[in-house]
Chains A and B, each alone.
Chain A
Amino acid sequence: MTPLAALGDRWTLIAIGIVAAIAGTPLGPALAGTMLGHVLVQIPLLVAAGWGIGRYLEPRIDSQLRRWNAGGIPGILLASFAVGFWMIPRWLDGALTDPIVNAAKVVSLVVLAGMPLAWSWPRLHPVARGVVKIELLAMLFRLGWLYVISPDRFCNSYLLTDQVWLGRGLIVVGIALGITWLVPLFWDGFATATDAGAAGTTTR
């Protein structure tokens, strides 16, 4: 097996490439140059990259260790805290002014958010998935609304107009995700949800 093949499939390589590009090339600072690019592009990319790497590592995790995340709840909680922490304006700001904080951001979003997501989401009960989706939508709309209407800057490193643009972006993403998740429910959601195990409330 060649070293490259040992690294896993194409997606894993792309994931590693994304982390390297954000951590080690001007792409990282360029994305963080605007609040929208930082929160809605760079951070999701890092989480997605963590997912890609986590997916590759999943079958190689010791089965004893895996029992600590049966059902996926601990992993989802970990990912939520890791992402939530970087939604605090103080630390988003800190990532721009302090390279150590930025390094902590990259590592934690990959290792503590993206990877646990890959290990947890597929095994998460559909009801729990619904809760996570609703909470994510709620966070997008709450933060988006706050950023659109706030007359104060939350980050010293970003302009107020930047903050408003992020707010609009969050709301747009919230609407898009909401539609993506809700619309299928009107067609074949009932059958699929029942197949997936969420019986009871969805079957009439």
Chain B
Amino acid sequence: MPWRSAAAAVLVLAVGGGALALGTDGWSVWTAEGARRQAVLTNPRPLPDYPLTDSRGNALNLAELETPLVVVDLIYTRCPTVCLAMGAQLRTLQTELAATGLSEKVGILSITFDPSDDRQALADYLERFHAIAPNWRAARFDNDEDLERILEQLGVVLIPEPRVGFVHNAAFYLVENGYVVEILEVEDRMGLLAAIRRRAAT
């Protein structure tokens, strides 16, 4: 092989390898879901001041939630699958928080992304999981545009699915003083609790 081709091959290997390394954050992030979770770890994302109304009619603001730590999940109340799993995890979490005396510092907020979820639907949702008021609240955005924007900002992808409603990349968002600081797997309640304890201790 003439030297030019050899040099070109080496150059392609270097640039191509570099592109793959960059594209995977150093061979560690292979999915869009992994990318958004990594992004908030390195760069906590401030939540915008979008108005919400909870199931009891109280006004909330996403940027100024009442407790220093808030576990947020995005749900829709008709959801037959993953939202049920999240609800069940949160149900356990709230008793764990109460048992460790963290209820004062940590709130839970379930926000619906389904515009057809009204206050009653949200109240029923909370009741279904024996949510303890006022620690666990359920709310909806006052403006549909705010909902669209927050989904895009957080990297939530909804796929409309005729039988179940939506397929969505469900996760727990741990919010600290108005910033999303961690995005966790819905099965990972122990990890969530550990993260809460770590942050509540400081």
Contact = CB atoms under 8 A, between A and B. Distances in A.
A73 B13 contact: no
Contacts of B7: 68
Contacts of B2: 67, 70-71
Given A88-B24, A159-B159, A159-B167, A77 B12 contact: yes
Interface string A65-94: 001111101100110111011001111011
B4 A89 contact: no
A156 B1 contact: no
B5 A88 contact: no
Among B17, B33, B155, the one with the most A-chain Cβ atoms within 10 Å of its Cβ is: B33
A70 B16 contact: no
A154 B157 CA distance: 13
A91 B20 CA distance: 11
B115 interface: no
Contacts of B17: 81
B99 interface: no
Contacts of B20: 81, 84-85, 88
Interface size class of A (residues with CB under 8 A): 20 to 34
A78 B31 contact: no
A131 B30 CA distance: 26
A157 B159 contact: yes
Contacts of A159: 159, 161, 167
A96 B185 CA distance: 23
B32 A74 contact: no
A91 B23 CA distance: 8
Contacts of B167: 159
A194 interface: no
Contacts of B4: 67-68, 70
Given A77-B13, A91-B23, A94-B32, A70 B5 contact: yes
Contact of A81 (B1, B16, B24, B157): B16
Contact of A77 (B9, B23, B33, B161): B9
B149 to A, nearest CB: 14
Interface of A: 67-71, 73-74, 77-78, 80-82, 84-85, 88-91, 93-94, 97, 153-159
Interface of B: 1-2, 4-5, 7-9, 11-13, 15-17, 19-20, 23-24, 29-35, 155, 157, 159, 161, 167, 169
